[in-house]
Amino acid sequence: MHVASAYLVFVSIDDEGRPIPVAPVMAETDEERRRMAAAKERRALRRSREARS
């Protein structure tokens, strides 16, 4: 039984509190690759909806 899912965003910051780049997350399993592909689709859908607003 699946109860809940959550999508979190973490931002790495420097000593002055400004965002800094980090290495990209690499999918290692088929499940991770599937979830990353689904995330890309959700992002594209969100952006297309925003562009029409």
Q: Which two tokens stand for residue 40?
A: 């890309």
What pairs with residue 13 in β-bridges?
19
Examine the pLDDT at 30 and tell me if it is beyond 90.
yes
Q: What percent of the chain has pLDDT over 90?
A: 79
- Per-residue CA distances from 48 to 9, 41, 52 (Å): 21, 11, 6
Task: Output the pTM of the full model.
Answer: 0.59
Q: Write down the mean pLDDT value for the chain.
A: 93
The pLDDT score that the predictor gives to residue 26 is 94
